[in-house]
Chains A and B, each alone.
Chain A
Amino acid sequence: QQQVKQSPQSLIVQKGGISIINCAYENTAFDYFPWYQQFPGKGPALLIAIRPDVSEKKEGRFTISFNKSAKQFSLHIMDSQPGDSATYFCAASNTVGREYGNKLVFGAGTILRVKS
């Protein structure tokens, strides 16, 4: 129940295209869903996050779509650029329950390559 399933494992997109990464969760107590971007040899960087009271959040070229009933959320990268080539992780946490605090449950990651 603590798993967050992420797909695809890897993704190749042409420059200017849309990159879409999907995640699904089971634990309905999760109420915070961030996406992280990680370059090789670096720590993950918070990209964008959403809470379940909204169905979509957009920041620049990055958009999170959230479907509470389906327990799914996805990251869309518009106008993908070679500089976006990185590993992307979705995550989820229960920010209310004392048992978890802010402990994040991570997806397995998606390696994105944007071809120029």
Chain B
Amino acid sequence: GAVVSQHPSRVICKSGTSVKIECRSLDFQATTMFWYRQFPKKSLMLMATSNEGSKATYEQGVEKDKFLINHASLTLSTLTVTSAHPEDSSFYICSAGSTGVPSYEQYFGPGTRLTVT
């Protein structure tokens, strides 16, 4: 149980275009989803927290208009990187948590490798 999927697993896009990444909780309802960014050989950097049906809360330094997050249902959150530039190239990982049993645990998706050319 507690499976989180991400789509796509890899995406290459041209500079200036937008890319949407989907995060789904497959076998549980995720009241909260988190989006992280990870650079090579580095730790996870939290970008934003999203709760179903409400606006995402962004971490300091994360541009809200560039990284659009939508959490439309209890099983789906999307991250849209708008007007992508090469410096946005990174590994993006989502996670999902639930206040159900087991509570407080957070389950991570497999990640999405974004390359902006």
Contact = CB atoms under 8 A, between A and B. Distances in A.
Contact of B106 (A42, A102, A109): A102
B113 A102 contact: no
Contact of B108 (A32, A36, A102): A36
B111 A43 contact: yes
A75 interface: no
Interface string A65-107: 0000000000000000000000001000101000001111011
Contacts of A41: 91, 111, 113
Contacts of A107: 43
B46 A43 contact: no
Contact of A42 (B32, B105, B110): B110
A93 B107 CA distance: 14
Given A41-B113, A42-B110, A43-B111, A103 B105 contact: no
B93 interface: yes
A89 B111 contact: no
A45 B108 contact: yes
A21 to B, nearest CB: 13
Interface of B: 4, 6, 32, 34, 41-44, 46, 49, 91, 93, 95, 97, 103-111, 113
3 residue pairs, one from A and one from B, having the closest CB atoms: A43-B108, A95-B104, A102-B97
5 contacts: A46-B108, A102-B104, A104-B46, A106-B43, A106-B44
